[in-house]
Amino acid sequence: MYVTKLVCARCGEEHSPEEKVYFCSNMDGRLDIYYDYDAIADVLTREELELRPGGTWRYRELLPVREETPVVDLGEGNTPLIRATRLADRLGFRNLYLKDETRNPTWSFKDRPMAVGVAKAVEFGVKTAVTASSGNAAAALAAFGAKAGIDVVTFVPHFAGLGKVAQLQLYGAKVVRLKWETDEDPTVKMMVEMVRRHGWYPSPSFGPFNPYQFEGNKTMAYEILEQLGWRAPDWVMIPVGGGGLLAGNWKGFKEFKELDFVGDLPRIAAVQSTGCAPLVRAFKQGKGPFEIEPWGKPDTVATGLEDPFPWDGDAALKAIRESNGTAVAVTNEEILEAQRLLARYEGIFAEPSGVASLAGLIRLKDEGVVDPTDLIVVEITGSGLKDPDVVVESVGTPPVIEPNVGDVEAYLSSVGAL
């Protein structure tokens, strides 16, 4: 393991990589993990990487897990980067790519951080892990926990998609649906309380409560650069809830540049829903990294982005500005239209949270921020199977037709098939 230290992003409290530590003692901020990049450069080259199998552990030197620790691998990562030719023609782009995270084992990008987080739990000898999640992070933790033999407790908001909740139960997780009627997120509050009372391993998908799994988000950036032939795109569009994916991506892009694997860095666009956009608001108001204000109770079809306070927002805000990027909020209507376009033109069924990135790209093109000739990567972060109720409500249910040729052809004619 090439970790040199863990340092609180806010107060500067420092910890040794030998310590069993999850968060700053002041509960101030995320423990950022630092690596010895000179030592990594001595053993890791582009040529070496190209010889390795795909997936999370292809990049083991850049992850905070000891070499002797048995990892939990469900085949996560190594997702395709698809050139979206039909969608590009429809929207007026020349070089449009989709990073399709729906191909992960539990159908979302959350498998990346949880693979690393659960491996670290195995290293620490953890018996029970607990998370606060709208569904995707909980599903990933439950799956990896099942494989590792670790008990999992998940706190989800009462409005979490029932498909996501059922998935958790099948993996054997203990699911607690919490009523959320105030501005404060009860799932995080209960998770922290259980960690304090019972010593459980905190496993949300945001950094301030577990710095190790945050590092798994970097692997998506590594893959994008490799899949583009060791070239950085001009723009990367990233949906934002807690901000960990965006911040982790940016760290990954910078690490490959630090190792001289690539020469340039992309610009980052953060995309949130207008019903929950604390990071976008802070960016547009010129707020500092630790001046982001809570949003209040969310109201959006993108339930996976319902983070009223972006726990990794400090790092995400820094990343947007360091990359000369931007942040944009999109409406429910824009998200659902992007979902329809993605399915219709590229055959990818994404959940609203996972396709907010595409809605953001369309908005930024209309505003003249993104050039149609730019090389653009849109991260599609979760499958539509995660939230089918939204789709049913959006597209409706076909009527039942009598099984005779006349009625069938009349209906086919009415829907434009004849």
- Residue 89 located in a structural domain: yes
Mean pLDDT, all residues of the chain: 94
Looking at residue 28, what is its pLDDT?
Answer: 73
Which residue range(s) make up the domain with 199? 80-386
In this structure, are residues 45 and 15 in contact, taking their beta carbons and an 8 Å threshold? no
- Residue 148 located in a structural domain: yes
Q: What are phi and psi of 240, to 5 degrees?
A: -130, 125
What are the tens digits of pLDDT across the range 248-290? 999 999 999 999 999 999 999 999 999 999 999 999 999 999 9
What are the tens digits of pLDDT across the range 345-374? 999 999 999 999 999 999 999 999 999 999
DSSP state of 171: T
Domain tally for the chain?
Answer: 1
- Residue 128 located in a structural domain: yes
- Residue 156 located in a structural domain: yes
- Residue 331 located in a structural domain: yes
- Residue 17 located in a structural domain: no
Which residues in 132-161 are b (16+ Cβ under 10 Å) and which e?
bbbbbbbbbbbbbbbebebbbbbbbbeebb
Task: Return d(Cα 247, Cα 252) in angstroms, integer.
Answer: 9
- Residue 342 located in a structural domain: yes
Question: For residue 387, is pLDDT > 80?
Answer: no
CATH number at residue 365: 3.40.50.1100
DSSP state of 155: E
- Residue 268 located in a structural domain: yes
